[in-house]
Each structure stands twice: as C-alpha cells, then as structure tokens.
Amino acid sequence: MLHLIDGLPPSPEDLAYLATTNYGAYTSFRVEAGGVRGLDLHLARLKASAEALFGEAVPEDKLRHVMRMALGETTTAWLRIGLFSPEIRPRTPDAVIRPKVLTTISPPPPPLGSNLRLQTQTHTRLLPEHKHTATLEAIYARRTARQAGFDDALYVDGEGLISEGSLWNIGFLQGDTVVWPQAPMLAGVGQALIDQGLAGQGMNSRTRPVHTVELSAFDGAFICNSATPACAVTAIGDMDFEIDDVRLRCLRAAWASAPLQPI
C-alpha cells in the first residue's frame, strides 16, 4: 500500500494529524487499464465535498496530477483520494483553505459478497450527501449487524424510510424496473453507472421514497458500490428475496458498459 500527500511522501506531522483528527472527505475507485469508470463523477464528488468542508476545491488538474504520480506505471489498482487540512482542528475549525490530497494505492478489493442478509438500523449519516471520513458510524453499523447474525446494515429513518447501507447504495427490482430509494443519502457512483447503462440492457429505473412496509412489493434487491457492481440481497430483516441471476447479470453489464475515462 502506497501513501502520498500532494504527490510526496507523508510528513510525520501530517500522519499525526490524520491519526488524531477525523475531518475530511474521500472517494475511491478501481483503476483498470489506466482508466476509471465514472471518473468525472468522482471528481465532481471531491469538488463538492471540498467546497462544503473546506471552503475551497482542489483544481482538477492538480487532482489528476497527484493521481498520475501515485500510480506511476501501475495500470490496475484501487485508488483512494482523501482531502484533509491540518489547519482545521477541533479548537480551530474556522480556516477556509484548499485541502491537501492524500492518495493511497492498493490492490483492488474483492466485492462485498455474493449475497447479503441485511439488518435495518435506524440511522441517518451526518452530512449524508458527502463521502466523509467519519467512518465510526459505518464500522459500528456493520459490526453490530454481524453480531446480530446479519451481513451488513441498511439505514432507515424513524418512519421506515430507506436510504442507504453502511458502504453502499441499494436498489429494488420490480420486473424490469430498478427502484432507487429517495432519501438523504450519498449519490453513489456505482449506482449512477448502473442507472446510465440500464436502457442498453432492456431495463429502466425510477427514484422514489421506499419504506420498509412495502418490501413485499419487490421481487428482488441488490447493493452496489465502486467495488461491488451488483450483489444480491437475500433478506432484509425477516423479508426474504429470491436471487435472479439473469437480472443481476444485466445490472453488472449496465455498470460495465460505462467507458473507462483516462486519468
């Protein structure tokens, strides 16, 4: 695993800050043959998060430069891009500043699973529209779900409105239609790529509020993120779902139809 900060080896001061202050944003994705599916969406995510959390975005040309420096001659990898600033601390949170860029190169991770049983948990992430580094809630949600005999956690609000999972988005199937939940949540790049490619697979989509009381109206469910194009959900709580391999292949093909964008 290789870490660089603004294209250089990290200083002890930066490492100390990262170890003690969990304020920042990130995005991560698979690099394939030197390109990235949905790179424009990842860059837009970083811009929006930088402006919201730091008051200033990192120019796109600098982001691309540090990505290329981190990768070197590597053409297949997992790349995580983090934004942080030692100028922002618990007692001094006021700085408006361009954040530093932390790049991490590692082997591509495996998918989250082949099928999942989900526990519903009443929770809404802080600043759900941003992929921020406050990961305690996601880790704790997955930990408690597994301790209860499930594979992962699905977030709902007090009225049973479904939003997202600990590390992923969820979609529901009704025939050839994917129903995406509408709620405060992170707009996933994997979700967007699947949605863009559905028409080419003879499928379509809609986005609307989805509540737990209507789960029986769906004939399938799946999760998706950048590491897991589509993984079947076999149960949410005590509601079981059948696995439809044909439609899962269509979802994965929809994701794979997104072109690789050069870095």
Q: Where do the structural domains in the chain lie, given as residue ranges?
A: 2-106, 115-262
Arch. (CATH architecture) of 2-106:
2-Layer Sandwich (3.30)
Contact indicator for 145, 121 with CB cutoff of 8 Å: yes
What residue type is assigned to position 248 of the chain?
L
Q: Span 213-231, mean pLDDT?
A: 96
Summarize pLDDT for 90-142 with one digit per residue, the tens. 999 999 999 999 999 999 999 888 899 999 999 999 999 999 999 999 999 99
Q: Which two tokens stand for residue 181?
A: 């939940």
Q: What is the mean pLDDT of residues 212-233?
A: 96
Contacts of 8 (CB under 8 A, 6+ apart): none
CA distances from 100 to 22, 33, 34, 36, 57 (A): 14, 27, 24, 22, 10
pLDDT band at 150 (very low <50, low <70, confident <90, very high): very high
Domain spanning 115-262: which superfamily?
Answer: D-amino Acid Aminotransferase, subunit A, domain 2 (3.20.10.10)
Is 29:39 a contact under the CB 8 Å cutoff?
Answer: yes
Q: Give the model's pLDDT for residue 22.
A: 94
